[in-house]
Structure 1
Amino acid sequence: MKHLRHLRKYFVRYRWRLAVGIFFILVSNYFGVLAPQVTGFIIDYVQRALKLPGYQPKAEAANYDVLVQRFIDTVEGREYSVGTIVAIAGVTILVLALLRGLFMFFMRQTIIVMSRRIEYDQKNEVYAHYQKLDAGFYKANSVGDLMSRMAEDVSRVRMFTGPAIMYLTNLVALIAMTVFFMYKRSPELTLYVLSPLPLLAFTIYRVNTVIHRRSEALQATLSAITVNAQQSYSGIRVIKSFVQERAMEGFFEANSEKYRRDATELAKIESLYFPSMALFIGISTLLTIMIGGLQVISGEIRLATIVEFVIYINMLTFPVSAIGWTASMIQRAAASQKRLNEFLHTEPLIVNPEEAQKPALHGAIEFRSVSFVYPNTGIRALHEFSLSIRPGEKVALVGRTGSGKSTVVQLLLRLYDPTGGEVLVDGVPLRRIDLAHLRGGISYVPQDGFLFSDSVARNIAFGSGTVDMESVRSAATAAAVHNEIMSFPKGYETLVGERGVTLSGGQKQRVSIARALAKPSPILVLDDSLSAVDTRTERAILDHIEAYLRERTSIVITHKVLSLSGFDQIVVLDEGRIAESGTHDSLLKQNGIYAEMYRSQLAQDDRTAI
């Protein structure tokens, strides 16, 4: 239950709705417990009025509720026939049932609606927290597990904030009121009737412990199924190309079978509750009739008391049987909230500074003796890396795979913080700059060119906030993808499949570049975003976006060096260090790594041309 303490803030937020809901529960149960007293009165009245054999009037009056007593005084104060009084009592019981039903409706409208609002708030909280977590977190956790916690676990927690609280409060209120009026009528008979209760409580405690443990295992298995399914759907082309459908079906079937076994075992344990409840109700009813009958024979109580007790016990049937269901919901919610808390209590490594600065960004960038080691793998990506970039300068980062090029960009975007040294933008260390302000000033095109399941136009306008078709077309033209978009049946309104699956690799990259160009920002970063196009197309794209690059600081990461002659600075990285730097011509004269890459790609390009 300690894991559910996280929900206190939501109950405080909706305290008035919760309080009104509890009030409706109390009122509905109050009207419910009056009906047995009216029934007991009419049984006693008919026996007395018709002088039925065996009736033994008691000297003291019965202890009825104040409203029931007022009803009795009213009907007995007038000269009604026995039939009329029975009819009035029947109508009264019907009215009490209607009032109880009305307030039960209000009860559900307040508490269940409250639980839906809490579910809405909690999903927003989880989603917002996911947004705050750093890139390292997403490398360590699967997307399927994140989705499972946000969907399945939050839904199970809602069952606690709504139905579980409602039924638990209803159970406590009804038992309290019922026991109170039963005790007023016959303390001795009440003790006999409720004697099975301690055994029931012990059974609930033992079974709840097992349910809690198995609920946690069940949720973990469900998460594994979600991960399996998500990866299968995302990688369906790879699965089909390697003819691994049957193998993936086997993995999914194994996880599903484990979930089925765990769910079946949990259901078997939960099923112990209902026979226990039925046994409790049956024993209580038997004790009422047997002991109550003996007391009626001895003149200690009236027959009406037995009738009231039997009705009270039957009223307790559903609430008491719901103990197991409610306990199960609470245990499952606790297990789910524990899984949610694991992520909600995860602090992001990249946080906004307390006194965040929002300097005017012009595009001056400086890396001062920057070193970086990836936390999950321990790989040293950069070592004593220093680079100064003036506003409006075009800089190319080249080097072999794994040389640290993409790490430079991730540090600039502050997806990670360097383990040594610091990065400055316009003379201000990144750790002091507001994160949203910093990233809002950088147009970034990642390697994989991620696209959303939306129209081409909305994908291009994603970073600019509004869909200005003139800017969208202009950016698409600069990225050399406008003509291809116009060849689509719906043009810019063509829907892109998940992750851009309906487009070719080159089209995805160019749409991603158009998105970056459409976003007004002083810094543009292209992280190997032209790998899916040939050298000539790359040169054409770079020529097209020349107008966009004039007033922007541009960092282009690429493996292709044939199109870099117009760059102000070319930095060659090797094993996290700067091996060479200079212009295209000066690097060719050095006859080092860059010159070797240039000659190799030139020869390859010539062979391709042949």
Structure 2
Amino acid sequence: MKELKYLNKYFLKYKGRLLLGVFITIIATAFKLVVPMKVGDSVTAVKQYLNGQITDIAIVKHELLINILLLLGAALLSALFTFMMRQTFIVVSRYVEYDLKNEIFQHYEKLSLGFYKQNRTGDLMNRISEDVSKVRMYVGPALMYSITTVTLFIVVVSYMFYKAPTLTLYAIAPLPILSLAIYKLSVLINQRTTIVQQYLSKLTTFTQESFSGIAVIKAYGIEPRTNANFEELAEGSKVKNIDLAKVQALFFPLMMLLIGVSNILVIYIGGTRYISGEIAEFGTIVEFLIYVNMLTWPVAVVGWVTSMVQQAEASQKRINEFLKTEPSIQNLVEVSTPVQGNIEFNNLTFTYPDTGITALKDVSFTVKPGETLAIVGNTGSGKSTILELIGRLYDVEEGMLTIDETPIRNLNLEDLRHSIGYVPQDAFLFSDSLRNNIRFGKEDASEEEVIEAAKNAAVHKNIIGFTNGYDTILGERGITLSGGQKQRVSIARAIIKDPKILLFDDCLSAVDTETEEEILQNLSKISKEKTTIIVSHRISSAKNATKIIVLNEGKIIQQGSHNELVNAEGYYKELYAKQLLEKEM
């Protein structure tokens, strides 16, 4: 259970509630103990009347009536305290589930891009949902039944020893065998549970990717192949679950067998000792039979609890793997460091740590507040990498990147990212209203600010054309909108934030030239005091920039203004002539 030690901090957090639960459990168990005692007393009273030891039937009836009332009272009180016990432990388990899910999600948010490139979304989802649910069963039901079992054993077995020591030893003799069997089976359960959870992660990942890419699957007509792949995974998952179920299925038959043996021993040994006079009251045998059967559920629960603990151990191990992963990007500065937007790359070379690809080679340039830098170049030339480094999605290892003459690592990470409005190449929208998607950039934005941002992004007319306007709910990843509309909503989201730095990563590729021109004119007004960087394949998006740099295989091969580059031989002039010809055609 070494992996489950991670949860000890939550037990300490809720120790008050847990101690109350233990106290309630003891009270509930004490009342349970009254039932067999009064049944035994009643049987003894009847036996004494039949043997002639008591001659007055009224005395027997009175004693039986008292015992019945005590039985009913004890049963009701035991039920009440059992209900309170369940409320205490199960509620604590839900609190722990809530805390653990929040901790995992917050940790996911801190982890760097490299982590998400190496791990699949389905697996991440499975660990925060299915694995946490398995852990909750350990914190709640498993803990509750363990405490109930221990309390019941201590109270019941102690009383049984007090009444008839020898008979008690015979009654509990099968339990060590049960303990050994549970230990052996637990090892198998742990191993097979880990495999089952791994298969569940694979299934979750496959289905999540299939649903996200359903348009591609339909377009290529590969539904049968996709279904066959799913069936193969599902078959593997089924086989592993059956393997686990086979081991778990051994628990209850084994326990019932051993409890049955205990009953036989109680009847035989108890009957023999009663006949020989070593046990004075016949009701003691009946009492012991009830006690042994009362222990049936707790003994059976030992197997179930062990299974839950083993599954929780396997799940917590998977959770701990991610919780122990340290983000490669750390906030090294706790004090606030306001950002103005003076960006400088100085002989910067960058290699992606996960792929080993060198994206930038000895890159140097400066962009000041109020200036606009355009970056053009072939696919894979390193354009997007520059934007990722400015947002500190990766750390610079060779060369220098400074903002306001301060190395980027020496800036407060939250201040840095709050000062940036970023529009990615692949616009991502949430399954929410258009209004809330724009407000994602500024949560407390007024309706007027939302509309103004939409107008500046040239998407307002499209939005009011929808039946529900700004209340239109988008499909997953913004599938309701066209590519150009998604890009413009993303631009509105960045504008409304009113950041010091605006980063546009080829975010006008899906809009027509007239709309592009309208957006660029609006941006030129908005970004007068901001640092703006535009990555684009279109000369039309770059021509009005203060400075343009041309990248090729990670190196700057040209830089200057639009007029300077058009009049110089090279990549930019060729691209301009090519796009001009395409426009005329």
TM-score, normalised by the number of residues in structure 1: 0.93
Q: Tell me which moved more, 527-536 or 300-309.
A: 527-536
TM alignment of 1:327-406, pairs within 5 A: 327-353=306-332, 355-406=333-384
Percent of aligned pairs sharing the same letter = 47
Shift of 1:51: 6.0
| TM superposition shift of 1:192 | 1.2
- Preserved CA contact (<8 Å) 2:145 2:298: yes
Going from structure 1 to structure 2, the CA distance change for 1:449 and 1:344 (only over 3 Å counts) comes to same
Tell me the distance in 1 between the aligned counterparts of 2:235 and 2:340.
58
- Does the CA contact (< 8 Å) of 2:548 and 2:562 recur in 1? yes
Aligned equivalent of 1:76: none
Whichever residue aligns with residue 459 of structure 1, its letter is N
2:450 maps to 1:451: no
1:581 counterpart SS class = strand
Residue 80 of structure 1 deviates from its aligned partner by 7.2
Aligned pair 1:39/2:39, yes or no? Answer: yes
Do the aligned partners of 1:357 and 1:432 also contact (CA within 8 Å) in 2?
no
Report 1:110-509 matches (<5 A): 110-301=88-279, 302-353=281-332, 355-509=333-487
Is the 1:145–1:226 Cα contact (8 Å) retained in structure 2?
A: yes
Offset at 1:531?
Answer: 1.1
Determine the C-alpha separation between the residues in 2 that align with 1:507 and 1:484.
Answer: 8
> Does the Cα contact within 8 Å between 2:360 and 2:554 map onto a contact in 1?
yes
- In structure 2, distance between residues paired with 1:333 and 1:487: 52
Please say if residues 458 and 467 of structure 1, whose CA atoms lie closer than 8 Å, have aligned partners that are also in contact: no
In structure 2, the partner of 1:16 is 16
3-state DSSP of counterpart to 2:348 = strand
Match of 1:86 in 2: 64
CA-based RMSD of the aligned residues comes to 1.5
In structure 1, the partner of 2:51 is 52
Q: Work out whether residues 203 and 233 of structure 2, in 8 Å CA contact, stay in contact via their aligned partners in 1.
A: yes
Q: Deviations over 1:576-610 (max 9, x none)?
A: 11111110111122211111111121122222xxx
Q: Which amino acid aligns with 2:319?
A: L
The DSSP-based 3-state class of the residue aligned with 1:586 is helix
**Within 2, Cα distance between the matches of 1:260 and 1:359?**
54
Q: Deviation of residue 34 (structure 1)?
A: 2.2
> Would you say how many aligned residue pairs link Structure 1 and Structure 2?
582
- Per-residue deviation, 1:44: 2.6
CA contact (8 A) 1:587 1:595 kept: yes
AA aligned to 1:313 is V
Q: 1:199 offset after TM fit, Å?
A: 1.1
Q: By how many angstroms is 1:40 displaced?
A: 2.0
Task: List structure 1 segments (4+ residues) > 6 angstroms apart after TM superposition.
Answer: none
Instruction: Structure 1: give runs of 5+ residues left out of the alignment.
Output: 58-78
Distance 1:266 1:33 in 2: 36
With 499-508 and 540-549 compared, the bigger mean Cα shift is at 540-549
- The code of the aligned residue for 1:402 comes to G
Following the alignment from structure 1 to structure 2, what is the Cα–Cα distance between the partners of residues 310 and 51? 22
Letter in 2 for 1:36: P
SS at match of 2:567: helix
**Does the CA contact (< 8 Å) of 2:31 and 2:77 recur in 1?**
yes
Deviations 1:193-238 (A, max 9, x none): 1111121111101111100000000000111110011001100000
Separation in 2 of the partners of 1:563 and 1:41? 95
SS in 2 for 1:81: helix
Are positions 1:556 and 2:534 aligned together? yes
Change (3 A) 1:290 1:489: same
Matched residue SS, 2:330? coil
Deviation per CA, 1:31-56: give whole Å up to 9, x if none: 111221222223333433x2617x8x
- Return the alpha-carbon distance in structure 1 between the equivalents of residues 387 and 427 of structure 2: 15
Look up the SS of the partner of 1:590 in the other structure.
Answer: coil
Return closer, same or farther for 1:563/1:133 CA change in 2, 3 Å cut-off. closer
CA distance in 2, matches of 1:563, 1:436: 30
Deviation track 1:50-95 (CA, whole Å, cap 9, x = no partner) reads 2617x8x9xxxxxxxxxxxxxxxxxxxxx97220111101110111
Question: In structure 1, what is the Cα distance between the partners aligned to 2:10 and 2:35?
Answer: 36
Judge conservation of contact 2:374–2:533 (CA < 8 Å) in 1.
yes
Q: Go from structure 1 to structure 2 and tell me whether the alpha carbon gap of 1:189 and 1:516 turns closer, same or farther (over 3 Å shift).
A: same
Write the letter of the residue equivalent to 1:42: S
Q: Which amino acid aligns with 1:3?
A: E
Equivalent residue for 1:565? 543
CA contact (8 A) 1:535 1:560 kept: no
User: 1:256 and 1:246 mapped to 2: Cα distance?
Assistant: 15
- After TM superposition, give the deviation of residue 125 of structure 1 in Å: 0.5
Letter in 2 for 1:210: L
Residue pair 2:377, 2:537 contacting (<8 A) in 1 also = yes
Q: Deviations over 1:144-170 (max 9, x none)?
A: 111111111111110110001011111
Structure 1 stretch displaced more, 459-468 or 293-302: 459-468
Q: CA deviation at 1:255?
A: 1.3
Q: TM-score, normalised by structure 2?
A: 0.97
